[in-house]
Chain A
Amino acid sequence: MIDERPLRIWIDDHNPIFRLGLGACLEPPFLLAGESARFAPQPDLIRTDILVFELDGAGLPNALRLTKDSGVLLVAIASSVEDELLVEAIEAGVTGALLRGDANPNTFLHTLRSAAAGNGSLPTAVLGRLLSRPRVGLRGAGDLTDRELGVLRLLSKGETTNQIAADLCYSEKTVKNIVHDVLVRMNCRNRAQAVALATRRGLI
């Protein structure tokens, strides 16, 4: 072990059996800081070194938002290697990822150790996808208007086009146009990626 300082792990998973199981996998220097389901109760990040969270449409932006500027490392549990969010998570600063189906004490502890040592750890299949992917950037992101940022903020809360239209008193068509403009400006392929990038860059 590189560093024997205790490292506190917060585990967020909406299935209680899997969550308890991940907690039971921990061994020194890793300690269970606490656990939550879909971030309820909200993780106590003051007492957490690594936040383990479920990679889904809401989990990623929430984890990024909660840990922003906190120095807490992120490790994602993904359902599938095909998950587009996995690539986005890595680009957004998630340190390690593990497939749910591959999780066992060895793989989980390995992922945590790598994250703690400052080395990312990814399922090999994901690495291949990541390397073969065209680069995306945030060119022109500074040009986002307040209106576009407002829509991005609501997207990050998991709102649908419908809900955003209702919230902002726009038509659905307008919201779709704004989202389209945001994606083009941020050079992103979908909404989740735009939210992840914007969160990471502190735009929202």
Chain B
Amino acid sequence: MHRVLIGQFGTVARMGLRELLDGQGIEVVAEAESAVGIVSCVSEVRPDVVVLDLDDDGALGMAEEITSEFPAIKVIACSCEEPVMRVFPPFHHGESYASKLSAPLLALALSS
């Protein structure tokens, strides 16, 4: 089962993500306290998946940084406003695709 690191999110969104992950039996290994410390947090806990807040202006840059430094890690940036997410598959040189965001789709993206 994949180990997930949750980036910085608003309180409600964070609770929603935890609810979704717990419901799927997915393990959250760490939650970043701030956007700044996230890369060092990634290098420390070595998760399989990092979930970022797509509404955060720095999210895409952060995703690029993580995927270039840790090519085996998958990054999923989820919006908490619109029902959309952007998935950066592992070993794809930071390439990404946008997808509709629903609980089952996110669970699938996280665990596949």
CA distance A55 to B81 in the complex (A): 13
Would you call B19 and A24 a contact (CB within 8 A)? Answer: yes
Give the residues from 1 to 31 in chain A that come closer than 8 angstroms, CB to CB, to chain B: 14-25
* Closest Cβ–Cβ distance, residue B99 to chain A (whole Å): 12
- Complex CA gap A22/B19 in Å reads 10
Instruction: Write out the residue numbers on chain B whose beta carbons fall within 8 Å of the beta carbon of A18.
Output: 12-13, 16, 80-81
Residues of B within 8 A of A19 (CB): 16
Specify the chain A residue showing the minimal Cβ separation from B102. A16
A37 touches B83 (CB 8 A): yes
Inter-chain contact total with CB atoms closer than 8 Å: 67
Contact of A21 among B13, B79, B83 (CB under 8 A): B13
- Contact call B101/A22, Cβ cutoff below 8 A: no
Whether A105 pairs with B16 at a CB distance below 8 angstroms is no
Number of interface residues of B (CB under 8 A): 21
Q: Could you tell me the distance between the alpha carbons of A81 and B18 in the complex, rounded to whole angstroms?
A: 28
B16 and chain A: residue at smallest CB distance: A21
Q: Which of A21, A23, A100, A108 has the most CB of B within 10 A?
A: A21
Contact B12 A15 (CB under 8 A): no
Cβ-closest chain B residue relative to A22: B12
The answer, among B10, B11, B16, for a CB contact under 8 Å with A16, is B16
Task: List, in ascending order, chain B residues with CB within 8 A of A15's CB.
Answer: 79-83, 101
B101: chain A residues at CB < 8 Å are 15-17
Across the interface, which residues of A come within 8 angstroms of B102, CB to CB?
16
Is B17 in the interface zone, CB < 8 Å from A? Answer: yes
Tell whether B46 is near chain A: CB-to-CB under 8 Å.
no
Asked whether, in the complex, the Cβ of B106 is within 8 Å of the Cβ of A23, the reply is no
A23 touches B19 (CB 8 A): yes
Asked whether A21 and B103 contact (CB < 8 A) given A15-B79, A15-B82, A16-B83, the answer is no
Question: Which of B18, B79, B81, B83: most chain A Cβ within 10 A?
Answer: B83
4 A-B pairs besides A16-B16, A21-B12, A100-B81 with CB distance below 8 A are A15-B82, A17-B20, A21-B17, A104-B12
Binding site for A on B (CB under 8 A): 10-20, 78-83, 101-103, 106
Q: Which residues of A contact B (CB under 8 A)?
A: 14-25, 37, 79, 100-101, 103-105, 108
